[in-house]
Structure 1
């Protein structure tokens, strides 16, 4: 038996830090990934898609968000099993009553912990959350849950196997050996946004469409092949459209940076890439200006989004740099004073370096005009 395991869609996520155009693209990608999941299930003969919580980003999404989600799911012949998580927890008269009113027969909403028989002898044990933060282990009842005639027992839950600190929820704690304790053939988890194997029978699928800068192997779903008495065969499938990359580079010259850029662009799908780029190092002032110009005038336009962090990329003026500014009058005097101040140990040194750099940029711009 094959199932597709996914989680943490967080439909309706606002992406407030981005431009309206990028917010719209990221939002649409999260709806599109529902179709990607449905097609993947059909392609791999998985009749069931298990969604381990946080289908929606809040417990009060707009009607359009609900309708888009339901209509996309119902375009595919598989069955969708939806578990409330900590962002979209179950409560009477809440979100899931609204979803249920619009959903058809291919969607089952698991707002109660009763086991469900997916197929003959294949039982699903859900652990829906009823509060954002639960002090109790949501999977504790799995150990004693009866599944008559079971050939397969599959757990579905949303919570933390371990303390993820600031990167994940510290409530809704689940013991790492729950699959063994409850005789589960597979425990499908949500909450952690990347693919994470806890043991052979316990996995996080992560979010199918990456939503933040974090190196956690996100943008996947898990194809799970189950056989009675055997460990499952789990295969990550790439589902995400956008790639969120974190790159840190120590730069020594503009030529080196040009080579780094060429390598980056050759290995990425630039129009669908969001990049957090941190630069460090010491270069000639002219090279630093050239590097930043390359980023501003070329790299930033190729990528979907660029978050540049260049505070630790230091440009030190050479004799040639200063000679270019060695002119009479106020400009020359300013250049000499800024250069002296930039080499001091005082708090103004960093500001002086930036001012000297800007002076060189503007002088060259005027000289070329």
Structure 2
């Protein structure tokens, strides 16, 4: 049996740092990933696609997102999509899976996993699910689903969503999935693969190589490690092969830049120029160091350009500490005289007076003056 393990599509997700046309492109890319997953399953000869929770961002997503998602899955009718409710889209009273809109548009190849009842997915292979019925479960639903099953000769795939106890700092969380118990069941031959969702980073857990988080098919944040994948799983008695396959097209980048000279700004400019597919790249920049007014003006021009080119460009505020110290060269190139020169000197004195709001405003004003004069290269 070969199948695709994926999770955390979170269709309908928005991001506060995306503005203008970037948010629609971000949303569209997530729907495009659904189509690519179906096409990959068909190309690989997979029996089905297993989506382990958080298919949707919430149970209150826009109708258009829902119908487009179902249409994307329907575009490969030969592939069955099994959808597991997660903490974002739990199977509660307001569940999107029980809504009239979902039922009206649900294609024949989309199946919602609503209970731990084993589902045959191939000859000698069955799927056991642990759907979430609330955002905050009060027990280990994966272990509970396994406990409910009778012994079988079939290969068993377990579908769950949530944090493993081996990773969570909250040891008192009753919903944590117990990794050691899963490994015991695998060793005993009770279960043969555990497909998990919730962690957006592609991760092989434990020591058996049979417990995996697929990660999100499109990145969602900076902290994720190796996101943008789905897992192609080939399972047979005594053998398993799990192969990550990249489907994501967006990138989140954090970058720390230490600035003290024109050469440092050159290096930052080169790094930004090296980024590919800028309209699908989101950058958070840390700028630390000491620059002149002219260098600050040059930096502002560079960052303004990148704001227009990138999908999103935001300062890494907790790690940004850029000091602007005016020097004589900053003012000589302006060639001002008379009242203008006197005003410039006043700004310079104020900018050098400390780090209060007036001094910071004066430095910003000097940098702007450099930019308007056209002297910043």
TM beyond 0.5: yes
Any conservation in 2 of the 1:139–1:157 contact (CA below 8 Å)? yes
Question: Is the alpha carbon distance of 1:286 and 1:229 closer, same or farther for their aligned partners in structure 2, counting shifts above 3 Å?
Answer: same
Mapped partners of 1:101, 1:181: distance in 2 = 42
1:104 and 1:323, CA in 2 relative to 1: closer, same or farther beyond 3 A? closer
Runs of 4+ in 1 over 6 A off after TM superposition: none
Task: Specify the alignment match of 2:107 in structure 1.
Answer: 104
Instruction: Select the residue among 340, 350, 359 that pairs with 1:352.
Output: 359
Q: Distance in 1 between matches of 2:199 and 2:374?
A: 54
Is residue 49 from structure 1 mapped to residue 58 from structure 2 by the alignment?
no
**Residues in 1 aligned to 2:355 and 2:269: alpha-carbon distance in whole angstroms:** 33
- CA offsets per residue over residues 224-263 of structure 1, 9 Å max, x none? 1222223x32222111121121111112223332333323
> 1:89, CA displacement in angstroms?
0.6
Secondary structure at 2:67's aligned position in 1? Answer: helix
What is the SS of the residue equivalent to 1:111? Answer: coil
Confirm or deny: 8 A CA contact 2:269 2:302 kept in the other structure: no
Q: Is the 8 A contact 1:7 1:53 kept in 2?
A: yes
- 1:160-309 equivalences in 2 (<5 Å): 160-162=163-165, 164=168, 172-183=175-186, 184-199=191-206, 200-230=209-239, 232-296=240-304, 298-309=305-316
Matched, 1:67 2:76: no
- Checking the alignment, whether the CA contact within 8 Å between 1:82 and 1:108 is kept in structure 2 is yes
Residues 353 and 323 of structure 1, relative CA distance in 2, 3 Å threshold: farther
RMSD: 2.6
Could you tell me how far apart the structure 2 residues matched to 1:264 and 1:360 are?
22
Displacement after TM superposition at 1:92 (Å): 4.8
Residue segments in structure 1 that go unaligned for 5+ positions in a row: none
Can you list the C-alpha shifts for 1:110-158, whole angstroms capped at 9, x where unaligned?
A: 1111111111111211000001101211112244343564341111001
SS at match of 1:86: coil
Q: TM-score under structure 1 normalisation?
A: 0.88
Contact 2:53/2:161, CA 8 A, preserved across alignment: yes
Once the two structures are superposed, what CA deviation does each residue of 1:85-106 show, in whole Å capped at 9, x if it has no partner?
0111113573212334432331
Whether 1:79 and 2:80 are equivalent positions in the alignment is yes
When residues 360 and 205 of structure 1 are mapped into structure 2, their CA distance, relative to the original with a 3 A threshold, is closer
Query: What are the equivalent positions in structure 2 for 1:72-151 lying under 5 Å apart?
Result: 72-76=72-76, 77-92=78-93, 94-98=95-99, 99-146=102-149, 149-151=152-154
Q: Which of 92-101 and 102-111 deviates more?
A: 92-101
Aligned 8 A contact 1:209 1:239 in 2: yes
Q: Classify the secondary structure of the residue corresponding to 1:139.
A: helix
Distance in 2, matches of 1:366 and 1:277, equals 27
For these two proteins, the number of residue pairs brought into alignment is 361
Contact 1:31–1:69 (CA under 8 A) maintained in structure 2: yes
Distance change in 2, residues 1:137/1:41 (3 Å):
same
Structure 1 residues 364 and 55, CA gap change in structure 2 (3 angstroms): closer
Question: TM-score if structure 2 supplies the norm length?
Answer: 0.86
TM-aligned CA distance change 1:353 to 1:334, over 3 Å = farther
